[in-house]
Structures are given as C-alpha cells and as structure tokens.
Structure 1
Amino acid sequence: MDASMKVLQRVPLFRGINENDFPHLLNCINAKKKSYARNEFIFLSGDIPTAIGIVLDGRVQIIKEDVFGNRVILNDLGAGAVFGESFVCGGSFSLTVSVQATEDSSILLCPFKQIMHICPNACEFHNTLVQNMVVMVSQHNIKLLEQLEVTTKHSLREKILAYLAQLAQEQDSATVNSPLGRVDLADYLGVDRSSLTRELKRMQDEHILQFDKNIYTLLNTGI
C-alpha cells in the first residue's frame, strides 16, 4: 500500500488521520486493493454494495443506462476520489447506477460496516472516519445538485456554458481542462455527439468560446 500512500493522504475519508496510522487503519477496516482492466465494471446496476471504493490510480465513471441502452455519465473520477458512499450509507439498496473503469485502475474497497462501527480495540481514528463520512455524503449531494443545474438547462448551449462555468470556478480560470472527452461530454449532457460538436463550432464562430480537444476558453467572462 506504500505506493498509494500519497493518494490516501488526500482522500476525504481519511482527512485528519495521521499517515502513520494508515497501515493499522486499513487493516482494522479490512480494506482490500483490487485491480480492474479498462472497461471492466466495478459495480453493476442492481448490485447491493457493501463497500465504498477509493480510486488509487486510473479513472472510473459513474454511469446510468435506461431501458433503451442510452447512457448518461453522472461522474468522472480520478485518483483520490471516493464512490459508492451514498448507497452504502442508505442501507441495503440496489444500485441504480454502474461504476466502470475507463482505464486500467486500482481500487481500494472499504467495507462500510467496519468504517462506521467502533471496533473492540477502540481505535482513535474511528470517530474521525464517521465524521468524515457524513461530510462526504453531504458534499456528494451538493455535486449532484451542481450536475442537475447543468443537465436541466433548456438548450444545449445553456448546458455547455453551465458545465464550463462550473469548471472555470473549480479551476479558477477562464481556460479549463475538461476531464471528459467529446463522446463522454455528450453523454454527460444527455445529447448526441454530433449535436454537441455542431454547437461548439457555432459558439466558437460567435466568439463565445474557443476550444482545442479538451481545452476550453470562455471569452469575455471577466475571470
């Protein structure tokens, strides 16, 4: 686990816990590291998860598919990100989404019961874990609201601008690097790729933005 120590240090679940306690902590909560190949599913819709996942390296996406096979990307996560916490905190509920590795990835699976229940050894870090879990679930709900703010816009142009405005705020720059490629961004916005490409070109012609692959610059934003 030494190679992943720097990643674990920035994981919200472990905030405030001394890095020297990590080996004991991971053993206490029975955390297991597992590798997934590109396009392999970590969780499938319909599963009843018992553990939360932490991305140690690689990249994963939270996706939802309807009965017609249409796919929407709900989140795109890199190293240090946590997923599955809202479902395991809610009890024995079936997943309504799937989690898929978009490149070769290493995931740390942490059983929820071991995180939330004080162990017989009364380890000092358990209270911190519980507090951090509550904060994480709250932040997750805020991220969902931010996504709703984007996807509920009426026009495609409004969706694009809302998405890029959020990135600009996060990255504190009018020029942003989107973690989503064109195909994934279309899925995230709930539109087809050709429509997205056409609208981006129109917005560039109208000097609203400039783009080159995944790099976008919002013009006249004041940022």
Structure 2
Amino acid sequence: MLKCLDASEKKYEKNDIILLAGTKVTSVGIIMEGSAQITREDAEGNRAILSELSRADLFAEAYVAAGYQDVPITVIATAACRVVWIPFSKVVARCSFACDFHRILVENMLKVIAVKNIWMNEKMRILSCKTTKEKLLTYLADYSERVGKNKFKIPFTRNELADYLSVDRSAMSRELGKLRDEGYLKFDKNEFEVL
C-alpha cells in the first residue's frame, strides 16, 4: 500500500528538524512513532508552539492541500520519530488498482483534519483569554477533561507551556504559584492536579 502511494519513510532523532519553515513541501507527514511539535517564529524570533504531535498525527496537510509554496511552520522531533511522507497528489488521485485503501485513507485523513480543526478552535478559545491566569485555568481544565482525570501530566516543560499559551514564562510561573496558594491546583514540574 505504501508503494502504491509512492510513500517514503524517514527516521528522526530527538531535536531533529523534521520540516523547516520556508521549505517547499508536497507531501503530507504522518507520525508513525515518537512525538514532535509544530512551532512558528514571529519576526522577532519569538517561538510559539502551535501543537504537539504523537502517533498517527498528520502535519503539513493544510499547507500542501492549499498549495502553499513555502510552509510557515517548523516541525521538531521531541522524541525519536518515524515519519511517513505521502505525496498529496497520490492521496487525492485513485490508483490504477482502484483499491478501497484510497477511499479509507481519504476518509481517515478527513476525520483527522476535522479533529484538528476542533482542537484549533479550542486553542483559539484559550488564547483569546485576556489574562495569564485565565489561559492557565482554561488550558488545565480542558486538559483534565480530555484525559478524564483531575491529576495528570502535561506534554510541555514550563518554557514550552509559556510558548504554547503565548505568555511570559516568569509571569506564568508567578500565576501558577498564586493559583496553588489560592487552592485551585497542585503541581510538581509538569504534573498537575486540578482541585
């Protein structure tokens, strides 16, 4: 099936750049093993973490489908990764074998894209919060709901969480201390308990 799609597989080590902003890309990436982050830098070099990727997650699909010449994102491996690259032209065209695989692949990709759209709407809701406190409480409440537990481990370091929430790290650390002191939560590094 990968041969039918003219897919290729590549391995990346932790901290390797999987996709660099400014690169022309014509293939959709799928994380088969490991994890990565999608990041974007502004004109001043400030990094924002747009999303965390894990097994079966797609990336670059929106830019490839929209025909972007250069992608504005960078994808960095946060653990050793195995990525399958599928040329977009092969995804949208039926193969000469007329196999059901293509229909199933497109269905699955559309479902993944729909879930990503919902997730991006949730992130926009977090980022639209006015204060660091509101952003933290909203993110932690959403994460707690997603994992179904009030005690959980987030996938970010403090610096990464600040980048993800688009807030100053020291201001965020102060707010976390206040939230702990006010009885909203307990935490140790990236392990949290929402009270």
TM-score range, shorter chain: over 0.9
Specify every segment of 5 or more residues in structure 1 that has no aligned partner in the other structure, as ranges: 1-24
For 2:167, the equivalent position in structure 1 comes to 191
For 1:74, the equivalent position in structure 2 comes to 50
Shift of 1:56: 2.0
Shift of 1:75: 0.5
8 Å contact 2:39–2:50 — kept in the other structure? yes
Say whether residues 1:106 and 2:82 are aligned partners.
yes
For 1:59, the equivalent position in structure 2 comes to 35
Show CA shifts across 1:109-141 (max 9, x none). Answer: 111111221011111211122222222222222
RMSD: 1.4
TM-score normalized with structure 2 length: 0.94
Runs of 4+ displaced beyond 6 Å: none
Shift of 1:104: 2.5
CA distance in 1, matches of 2:191, 2:56: 23
Shift of 1:154: 0.2
CA distance in 2, matches of 1:169, 1:192: 25
Change (3 A) 1:138 1:52: same
8 Å contact 1:116–1:129 — kept in the other structure? no
CA distance in 2, matches of 1:92, 1:210: 44
CA distance in 1, matches of 2:50, 2:100: 35
8 Å contact 2:57–2:112 — kept in the other structure? no
Aligned ranges for residues 139-178 of structure 1 at < 5 Å? 139-178=115-154
Show CA shifts across 1:76-124 (max 9, x none). Answer: 1122222122112222442121111123222111111112210111112
Specify every segment of 5 or more residues in structure 2 that has no aligned partner in the other structure, as ranges: none
Shift of 1:202: 0.9
- Among the aligned pairs, what percent are the same residue? 37
Which sits farther off after the overlay, 208-217 or 88-97?
Answer: 88-97
Say whether residues 1:116 and 2:92 are aligned partners.
yes
Which sits farther off after the overlay, 158-167 or 88-97?
Answer: 88-97
8 Å contact 1:37–1:105 — kept in the other structure? yes
Shift of 1:163: 0.6
